[in-house]
Amino acid sequence: MTAAPGTPTATYRLQLQPAFPFAAAERAVPYLASLGVSHLHLSPVLEAVPGSTHGYDVVDHSAVRAELGGEEGLRALARTARTHGLGLIVDIVPNHMAAPAPERLNAPLWEVLREGPESPYARWFDIDWRAHGGKVLLPVLGGPLGEEWDRLRVGDGTLRYYDHAFPLRPGTEGLPLAELLDAQWYRLGWWRLARTELNYRRFFTISELIAVRVEDPEVFAATHATLLELVRDGVVDGLRIDHPDGLADPEGYLRRLDRAVRAAAGDGEGGGGRRITPEGAGGRGITPGGGGGRRITPGGSGRWTAPEGDIGRWTAPEGGGARWTVVEKILARDEPLPAGWPVAGTTGYDALHHIDGLFLDPDGLEKLTALYRAFAAPPAHLGGDWAATVRRAAHEVVTHDLAAEVERLTRTASRICAADPRLRDHAPWALRTAIRELLVRLPVYRPYASVGGPPATDADAVMLRSAAADAREAFTVAQEAQVVGVVRDAALGGLGDGPDHRDFCARFAQTAAALRAKSVEDTAFYRYAPLLSAAEVGGDPGRPAVAPEEFHAFAARRSRDWPATGTVLSTHDTKRSADARARLAALTECPDWWGRTVEELTRSAPAPDPHLAWTAWQTALALGHGDAERLVPAVLKAVREAGLRTTWTEQNAAYEEEVTTFLETGPCAAEPSVWAAIGAGLDGPARANALGAALLQLTMPGVPDLYMGTEHVYTALVDPDNRRPPELGGEPADGPSAEKLLLTRAALNLRRERPGWFGPGSTYTPLLASGPSAEHCVAFLRTDNGTGGMDGTNGMDDTDGAPGGAVTVITRLSRRLAEAGGWGATRLPLPPGRWRDLLTGRTAEGPAALDELLSRLPVALLIRI
């Protein structure tokens, strides 16, 4: 793969919110430019639920968010960024919108609730109108309807319940309340009904986020018009696509988006200017990008129409240049990104996993896991064994949290079987069981199959056949187990090409993605707790360690196949920031010490249960201290997600009070001397891990994305802790933050000055140390030609003729290195010539003595002089 025009050299993620709007980002531009990034990476910018701190709850695709400064604020930010040589990357959310309170904020949804399935907006949302007598279940009531009856109010064409306001079906306002409720296109229900009765697709298990049918070309046109205009006008230079696995047809969507972006940027068919937006009920009709005032609204058939009949079409303007697109795709350890996707790559969680894994001692991790099992004594399926824990969590989620999704699949499968005489004897219970058993056995987020489109890949077909073979074990009668094959074939798109066949194939994959996210990242990660830093997005806590040769092979594949893919260490979704994980990774080098420490701490501050004690003290260790304001919410979230003693929906108030009391009187009340003693053994290894991980991310193949504030030491826990408004700027005089800032600036400016060494077309060459401590060094050469100067040539940069090549050197397992006596005679072969470390100014020639090269810092970034 090669990168498209405008590939960033590095991006800087800003988590926009009312407390940090476009104006604040604009003020930070000079500082961010000085760091050396090429683009600002903005969280979603379209209109969201008022007060939202993340922006993924979009309510209006036609408008830039007013709370951030509106479209003029965004354009002003873009202009200021341009004057400092920076572009903008924008996060977009194609999969879902908010189902807000009041509901009028989402104009298309409001129209559907008022007009029902005949509304031209009904095609926007994936609603099963065959359920609930053709009504949309809205699980918004705090209790059963009978208990909330007196809190319902009618007037001014709306039905109100606290902050909610629902439209009334025309002609029903004067009816008695019971008749009025029955006459609506929606059914108000107790919030607890969502898990079993919901009949609209949602984001994971969040009923407040209703999924959008962006696979419909007209819905795509309506929901992307404003973004494409911003591309056309050169405001937006690239895109991050949120959760593509939630879409019915990810590849089809990405191809349509690619065509539209190229057209809007003036490179291909189509183009863009007019904004196609909802009319009425708070919608704004058409807001012309270039003036004119034409209104483009859905006609009675649901088709978006314009006076000239240019439905869903764009005219190519001049200028523009948005090309670089990455997807938030969570890959399993050995899972490839689909080769046919027209993107630069992923957002980078696969890189995070491989970087973090380098700093884990596999032998120490094995010992730490044994100590955890002895201390917490978890049953195998509730945190004692990773594979068993994942399987148990998946069964819980698929039967409990995703029961409504499974029921919809079962209804669809039943219709498919009823339409085929040869399949009619597969009972709904058997179909339901087969669907569940197949879903829980998928080792990745989802298969990619479609009806009438390209067939599933061999890998996906083999995966589903393997899952089906195991799923048959759930049946005691062999003939009944044949239903598993029916469900497998339907999931692969091989049973037929009717509407139900297409629906089942797409919905099975979408449900698989939701199941994987909820059962692994949001449940098993919190139950299996030997090393919390291993439980990170995209990670594999059962096998988190990565050997140097595995890292080199991974990096070489990226350089060859996806040279402009993203890399990350910290994001708005990581459970813990990179520097927090760096502290925890050091525990694998001293497991016995940690086991004794937790035993001693628990004796002085008993916890409600040992699993909590192990988890809470590691969480505090990640911060380096006990801060009640940050630690208590994070640990309460962890115990609810784990679901062992309390959950989000069945909260055990007494237990949660015990948790809070323990945290406040234990980790949060620990004397400074306790944290100083802990830090004495961990600060050094944590420093080496943090600097090493940062330098790897900034110089390995791919485009690094820095999360706000991470150019300094940044220890953050799970959201909302990691979404606090940043304090950007500042020049620490010395200490760890000064070291990290020095490293970050040096690497980013080098990438900007020498893009040929790091971008598409560059090479990646491992450099292998020799000597007694060689395993503690990871090094590689980045350059712009195939030889990299290893043959005695200069390795000239083909852009400006400057000497080419940069060498990255990092230290891994530094505590074990020190215990073994240091680097000793270990040396690193450098390419011919003399090299200077941009971090310390020292010079070296190969073979370089690592005890000299790394005597001041545990890392080095060398260029040839």
Band (803; pLDDT cuts 50, 70, 90): low
Q: Structure tokens of 677?
A: 């003693």
**Bridge partners for 811 per DSSP:** 777
What's the mean pLDDT in 59-66? 98
Band (453; pLDDT cuts 50, 70, 90): confident
Band (301; pLDDT cuts 50, 70, 90): very low
Band (681; pLDDT cuts 50, 70, 90): confident
591-604 vs 362-376: helix crossing angle, rounded to 10 = 30
Residue 452 confidence (pLDDT) above 80: yes
What's the mean pLDDT in 521-531? 98
610-623 vs 578-585: helix crossing angle, rounded to 10 = 120
Q: What per-residue string of b and e applies to 516-530 under the rule 16 or more CB within 10 Å gives b? A: bbbbbbbbbbbbbbb
Residue 801 confidence (pLDDT) above 50: no
pLDDT tens readout for residues 69-101 = 999 999 999 999 999 999 999 999 999 999 999
Whole-number percent of the chain with pLDDT over 70 = 91
Instruction: Measure the CA–CA gap between 33 and 57, rounded to whole angstroms.
Output: 30
Tally Cβ neighbours within 10 Å of residue 478: 8
What's the mean pLDDT in 514-538? 97
Instruction: Measure the CA–CA gap between 713 and 569, rounded to whole angstroms.
Output: 13
Give me the pLDDT at residue 6, please: 79
Give me the pLDDT at residue 268, please: 53
Residue 790 confidence (pLDDT) above 70: no
According to the 3-state scheme, what is the secondary structure of 779-803? EEEEECCCCCCCCCCCCECCCCCCE
Q: Structure tokens of 370?
A: 């044994």
Give me the pLDDT at residue 297, please: 43
Instruction: Measure the CA–CA gap between 808 and 787, rounded to whole angstroms.
Output: 17
Mean pLDDT of the chain: 91
* Strand order from edge to edge, sheet including 859-864: 763-767, 777-783, 806-811, 859-864, 835-837, 843-844
Band (274; pLDDT cuts 50, 70, 90): very low
What's the mean pLDDT in 591-601? 96
Q: Structure tokens of 474?
A: 């759930």
* Strand order from edge to edge, sheet including 238-241: 345-346, 324-327, 238-241, 87-92, 39-42, 11-14, 703-707, 566-567
Which residue is it, tokens 């309340």? 177
Instruction: Measure the CA–CA gap between 805 and 832, rounded to whole angstroms.
Output: 11
| Beta-sheet pairing, 39-42 with 87-92 | parallel
Residue 127 phi/psi, 5-degree rounding, is -110, 135
Instruction: Measure the CA–CA gap between 293 and 132, rounded to whole angstroms.
Output: 41
Residue 305 confidence (pLDDT) above 60: no
Residue 695 confidence (pLDDT) above 60: yes
What's the mean pLDDT in 702-708? 98
Give me the pLDDT at residue 466, please: 96
Residue 529 confidence (pLDDT) above 90: yes
Nearest CA among 822, 524, 703, 843 for reference residue 87: 703
Instruction: Measure the CA–CA gap between 166 and 110, rounded to whole angstroms.
Output: 7
Q: Which H or E run includes 136?
A: strand 136-141
Band (622; pLDDT cuts 50, 70, 90): very high
| Cα 40-46-51 angle, rounded to 5 deg | 100
What's the burial of 482, exposed, middle or buried (CB within 10 Å: 0-12/13-18/19+)?
middle
What's the burial of 546, exposed, middle or buried (CB within 10 Å: 0-12/13-18/19+)?
buried
Whole-number percent of the chain with pLDDT over 90 = 87
Residue 265 confidence (pLDDT) above 80: yes
Instruction: Measure the CA–CA gap between 475 and 436, rounded to whole angstroms.
Output: 12
**Bridge partners for 186 per DSSP:** 136
Band (278; pLDDT cuts 50, 70, 90): very low
- 847 cis-preceded (ω within 30 degrees of 0): yes
Band (567; pLDDT cuts 50, 70, 90): very high
Q: What per-residue string of b and e applies to 21-43 under the rule 16 or more CB within 10 Å gives b? A: bbebbbebbeebbebbbbbbbbb
What's the mean pLDDT in 246-265? 95
Residue 808 confidence (pLDDT) above 60: yes
Nearest CA among 232, 122, 138, 127 for reference residue 184: 138
Global pTM reads 0.92
Instruction: Measure the CA–CA gap between 476 and 480, rounded to whole angstroms.
Output: 8
What's the mean pLDDT in 189-218? 97
What's the mean pLDDT in 323-348? 95
Q: Where are the alpha helices (DSSP H) in 149-249?
A: 177-183, 194-197, 217-232
pLDDT tens readout for residues 159-182 = 999 999 999 999 999 999 999 999
Residue 838 confidence (pLDDT) above 80: yes
Q: Structure tokens of 531?
A: 């090393």
Instruction: Measure the CA–CA gap between 639 and 617, rounded to whole angstroms.
Output: 14
Give me the pLDDT at residue 786, please: 53
Length of the chain: 865
Q: Which H or E run includes 835?
A: strand 835-837
Instruction: Measure the CA–CA gap between 637 and 632, rounded to whole angstroms.
Output: 9
Q: Which residues does 159 contact at the CB level (< 8 Å), separation at least 6?
A: 152, 153, 165, 166, 167, 168, 180, 181, 184, 188
| Cα 718-391-598 angle, rounded to 5 deg | 50
pLDDT tens readout for residues 196-205 = 999 999 999 9
| Beta-sheet pairing, 206-211 with 96-98 | antiparallel
349-358 vs 548-561: helix crossing angle, rounded to 10 = 160
Q: Which residues does 322 contact at the CB level (< 8 Å), separation at least 6?
A: 6, 231, 236, 237, 238, 239, 261, 264, 265
Band (153; pLDDT cuts 50, 70, 90): very high
Evaluate whether 277 touches 283 at the Cβ level (below 8 Å).
Answer: yes
Beta strand extents in 242-350 (DSSP E only)? 279-280, 283-284, 297-298, 304-305, 324-327, 345-346
In Å, what is the CA distance from 44 to each residue of 185, 194, 717, 733, 856?
31, 27, 22, 35, 41
Residue 856 phi/psi, 5-degree rounding, is -100, -40
Instruction: Measure the CA–CA gap between 324 and 473, rounded to whole angstroms.
Output: 46
What's the mean pLDDT in 210-225? 97
pLDDT tens readout for residues 396-432 = 999 999 999 999 999 999 999 999 999 999 999 999 9
Q: How many CA atoms lie within 13 A of 184 on its CB side?
A: 27
Band (31; pLDDT cuts 50, 70, 90): very high
Evaluate whether 583 touches 714 at the Cβ level (below 8 Å).
Answer: no
What's the mean pLDDT in 456-476? 95
